[in-house]
């Protein structure tokens, strides 16, 4: 099935993000785009997210699908190949121009639009599905998450699906990270870009329902010890063969078995929700 660039944008200029906010994000992420040190870790993240989407997205391709940021596609293969199999037309937004440029360079058929999830430049009911992978947890407040959820509801057609992940505040490590100053975490190299507001699973379910969605399933993903795994991935990428790197990724994936346990929300770094617009 041929893919085409999306053409439903009404205004390519973000209406909510300020020039200062965009400049801050541009400065934070641009150095990362030129580095390959995270390539193996990004491959693991893509695999975990893809496994979730393969389970939740319809196998019969839909007409139009929106992805709410392009970080995955800018930093690695991303999720676009899978999304292009599940939708005739895939659009993606980001409010950082450098991220859009990197994503489109890797995936020329991706319909990329400079936009903000809090003020989407698309018509009501324009999409059959929305995939939002750790996008809304970069806003400064819970109120902004609520605004974005209402926007996602608006651009979905009745019966459309929302597949959403956010930082999981029920995980003690995520809770500690969010409680500490960003300047401290960034200074010691633990957090490469600004951390935003997020919530616990039950609160997120409530926010999604309040935005007008029906929640169909909730789970937690990315269960490996994150800081240790990232450091190990960097070392393996520098020193190991391709076969050893593949074995390392396979070992990381085994941590996802923790999603089957009642303690999933204590170990998962992201809470994931599958919802439907009635």
Q: Do 196 and 137 touch, CB atoms closer than 8 A?
A: yes
pLDDT at residue 17, as a whole number: 66
Whether 14 has a pLDDT exceeding 70, the answer reads no
Interval 231-248 mean pLDDT:
94
pLDDT at 12 over 70: no
> pLDDT averaged over the chain?
91
Q: Is residue 8 part of a domain?
A: no
- pLDDT for 156 equals 98
Q: Please write the tens of the pLDDT for every residue from 93-133.
A: 999 999 999 999 999 999 999 999 999 999 999 999 999 99
Q: Tell me if 252 is assigned to some domain.
A: yes
For residue 233, pLDDT beyond 80 = yes
pLDDT-based confidence at 22, cuts 50/70/90? confident
Q: Regarding predicted confidence, which is higher, 251 or 30?
A: 251
The count of structural domains within the chain is 1
Q: Is residue 3 part of a domain?
A: no
Q: Give the model's pLDDT for residue 223.
A: 98
Model pLDDT, residue 265: 98
Higher pLDDT, 40 or 7: 40
Share of the chain above pLDDT 90, in %: 78
In the predicted structure, residue 11 carries a pLDDT above the cut 70: no
Give a yes or no: residue 225 inside a domain.
yes
Asked if pLDDT for residue 5 goes beyond 80, the answer is no
Q: Is residue 2 part of a domain?
A: no
- The string of pLDDT tens digits covering residues 172-191 is 999 999 888 877 777 776 77
Residue 109 belongs to a domain with what CATH number? 3.40.50.150
| pLDDT (tens digit per residue) in 36-90 | 888 999 999 999 999 999 999 999 999 999 999 999 999 999 999 999 999 999 9
What pLDDT is recorded for position 16?
59
Estimate to the nearest angstrom the gap between the alpha carbon of 144 and the chain centroid. Answer: 16
Q: Given this model, what pLDDT does residue 142 score? A: 95
Residue 5 lies in a domain: no
Q: What value does the mean pLDDT take over residues 233-261?
A: 96
What confidence score (pLDDT) does residue 35 get? 82
Residue 209 pLDDT greater than 60, yes or no: yes
Residue 34 pLDDT = 81
Distance of alpha carbon 58 from alpha carbon 79, whole angstroms:
15
Domain carrying residue 115: 19-276
- pTM score, two decimals? 0.90
């Amino acid at each position: 099935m041929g893919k085409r660039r999306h053409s439903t944008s009404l205004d390519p200029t973000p209406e909510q993000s300020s020039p200062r906010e965009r400049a801050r994000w541009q400065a934070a992420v641009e150095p990362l785009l030129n580095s390959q040190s995270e390539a193996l870790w990004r491959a693991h993240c893509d695999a975990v997210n893809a496994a979730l989407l393969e389970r939740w997205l319809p196998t019969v391709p839909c007409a139009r699908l929106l992805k709410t940021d392009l970080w995955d596609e800018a930093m690695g293969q991303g999720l676009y190949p899978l999304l292009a199999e599940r939708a005739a037309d895939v659009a993606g937004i980001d409010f950082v121009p450098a991220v859009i440029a990197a994503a489109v360079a890797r995936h020329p058929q991706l319909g990329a639009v400079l936009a903000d999830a809090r003020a989407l430049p698309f018509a009501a009911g324009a999409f059959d599905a929305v995939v939002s992978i750790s996008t809304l947890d970069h806003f400064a407040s819970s109120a902004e998450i609520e605004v974005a959820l209402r926007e996602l509801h608006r651009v979905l057609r009745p019966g459309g699906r929302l597949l959403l992940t956010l930082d999981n505040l029920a995980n003690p490590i995520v809770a500690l990270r969010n409680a500490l100053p960003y300047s401290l975490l960034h200074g010691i190299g633990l957090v490469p870009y600004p951390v935003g507001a997020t919530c616990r699973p039950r609160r997120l379910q409530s926010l999604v329902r309040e935005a007008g969605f029906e929640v169909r399933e909730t789970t937690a993903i990315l269960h490996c010890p994150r800081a240790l795994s990232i450091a190990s991935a960097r070392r393996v990428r520098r020193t190991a063969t391709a076969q050893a790197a593949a074995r390392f990724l396979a070992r990381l994936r085994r941590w996802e078995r923790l999603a089957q346990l009642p303690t999933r929300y204590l170990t998962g770094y992201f809470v994931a929700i599958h919802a439907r617009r009635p």
